[in-house]
Amino acid sequence: MSNMIAQLKSIGHFLSDEQQVQAVIQSLPNNWEYLKVNLIHNDSIKTFSDVARHVEFEYERFGAAKAASNAFVAESIGTKSSGFKRKKT
């Protein structure tokens, strides 16, 4: 997106900060709807670099969550059924 903005500038078409922010928000995937809403209603996001930073954080968080979900799980295949471990007295 930053390359596209730079190319537009080079041919004399300047986008305002608000237009740049809106372009990034509109280009986000549909499954990031919660982030879109957050970015739209966050008054501290005013420039392309602000929105880019938030998108990068979310992408990193998504990658970390995905890595955590791929954890290995060990399973016991004993013949006894689950039950009490102590004798009844």
Q: Could you report the per-residue pLDDT of 20-46, keeping only the tens digit for each?
A: 999 899 999 998 899 999 999 999 999
| 36 located within any domain | yes
pLDDT, position 46: 92
Cα separation, 73 vs 77, whole angstroms: 13
pLDDT at 85 over 80: no
Cα separation, 89 vs 87, whole angstroms: 6
| 46 located within any domain | yes
| 75 located within any domain | no
Cα distances (Å, whole numbers) of residue 20 to 23, 31, 37, 41: 5, 21, 16, 16
Domain that holds residue 65: 17-69
| 65 located within any domain | yes
pLDDT at 73 over 60: no
| 80 located within any domain | no
pLDDT at 81 over 60: no
Considering its fold, how many domains does the chain have in total? 1
| 86 located within any domain | no
pLDDT tier at 74, thresholds 50, 70, 90: low
| 64 located within any domain | yes
